[in-house]
């Protein structure tokens, strides 16, 4: 995590949306986020898991979460800002306070629905599929959020609860390209070693799962549709997502 020498001081831009004004009303503020996983929200999720008959092992413990965060990010006390790459729901509900937003391209990765989930947008009875980043040709275009150094430790801890709750991602610090220059960003990519990693399924099979899965955060289909709309609003297109959505709509 390095400070971007071409950017402003740790406070970021006065106008967070100066690079992407079209997103000014299309990203949920942290205080209205459905996915800002405070200790209180985490307690609610734990209670819901117990009602489903799941034990404490349904997620990584708080100590395990903090250990994995520290292993990658360290104490975050060196005065450097933190950049976070968003390619899925982070693009409209990052759940963190940020001081700058940029369009960003991550080389050699692509979006895929390749993790089974019974949380959020799936259930134990009807699991859904979570979006991940899989290695591949080309690049994944998304957004990168700048978190000021003074908030980086606190905000990254909240983000870690959301993304690393069950260890389904492999967090990394990777270079991403932005129109304002390259930055090194926190990226949550697929973890092939996880038991719920199913890899890239045939498009028709993926669509069939997404078309019917639903959880406490809504349906799998709604997630896919919202992602495609956000990309379109940025003037971007992802062929995999467009083809997948066409299959989902055809199966309805």
137, 163, 182, 232: which one is catalytic?
163
Residue 216: the pLDDT is: 86
Residue 119: the pLDDT is: 82
The vertex-67 CA angle with 191 and 44, nearest 5°, equals 80
Residue 6: the pLDDT is: 34
Of the candidates 171, 104, 108, 179, which has an alpha carbon nearest to the alpha carbon of residue 142?
104
Burial code of 178-204, b = ≥16 C-beta within 10 A, e = fewer? bebeebbbbbbbbbeebebbbeebeee
Question: How far is the CA of 34 from the CAs of 29, 30, 42, 195, in angstroms?
Answer: 10, 9, 12, 27
Residue 1: the pLDDT is: 38
Rounded Cα distance between 11 and 13, Å, is 7
Rounded Cα distance between 30 and 113, Å, is 26
Is 232 catalytic? The answer is no
Q: 156 burial class (0-12, 13-18, 19+ CB within 10 angstroms)? A: buried
21-251: what fold?
A: Hypothetical upf0131 protein ytfp (3.10.490)
Residue 124: the pLDDT is: 85
Please indicate, yes or no, whether the overall pTM of this predicted structure exceeds 0.85: yes
Residue 12: the pLDDT is: 55
Q: What is the DSSP string of the chain?
A: ----TTS--TT--SSTTSS-GGGTTSS--GGG-S----HHHHHHHHHHHHHTT--GGGS--HHHHHHHHHHHHTT--SS--EEEEESSGGGT---S--SEEEEEEEEEEEEEEEEEESSSS--SSS-EEEEEEEEEEEEEEEEEEEE-HHHHHHHHHHHHHHHSTTS-EEEEEEEEB-TT--EEEEEEEE-TTSTTB-----HHHHHHHHHH-EETTEEHHHHHHHHHHHHHHTT---HHHHHHHHHHHHH-
Residue whose structure tokens are 């406490």: 216
Give 10-residue mean pLDDT values along the chain (252 residues).
Answer: 36 82 96 93 89 86 95 80 98 98 98 93 92 96 97 95 95 98 98 96 97 93 97 96 97 76
């Amino acid at each position: 995590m390095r400070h971007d020498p071409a950017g402003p001081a740790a406070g970021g831009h006065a106008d967070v949306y100066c690079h992407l004004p079209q997103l000014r009303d299309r990203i949920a503020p942290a205080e209205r986020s459905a996915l800002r996983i405070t200790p209180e929200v985490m307690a609610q999720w734990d209670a819901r898991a117990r009602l489903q008959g799941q034990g404490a092992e349904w997620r990584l413990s708080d100590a395990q979460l903090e250990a994995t965060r520290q292993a990658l990010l360290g104490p975050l006390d060196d005065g450097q800002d933190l950049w976070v790459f968003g390619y899925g729901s982070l693009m409209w509900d990052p759940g963190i306070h940020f001081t700058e937003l940029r369009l960003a391209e991550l080389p050699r990765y692509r979006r895929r629905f390749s993790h089974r989930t019974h949380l959020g947008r799936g259930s134990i009875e009807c699991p859904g599929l979570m979006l991940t980043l899989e290695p591949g040709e080309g690049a994944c275009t998304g957004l990168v959020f700048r978190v000021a150094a003074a908030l980086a430790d606190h905000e990254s801890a909240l983000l870690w609860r959301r993304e690393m709750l069950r260890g389904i991602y492999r967090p990394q610090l990777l270079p991403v390209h932005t129109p304002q220059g390259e930055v090194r960003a926190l990226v949550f990519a697929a973890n092939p070693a996880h038991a719920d990693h199913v890899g890239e399924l045939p498009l028709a099979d993926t669509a069939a799962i997404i078309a019917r899965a639903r959880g406490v955060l809504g349906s799998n289909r709604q997630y896919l549709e919202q992602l495609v709309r956000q990309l379109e609003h940025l003037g971007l297109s992802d062929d995999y997502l467009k083809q997948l959505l066409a299959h989902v709509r055809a199966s309805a």
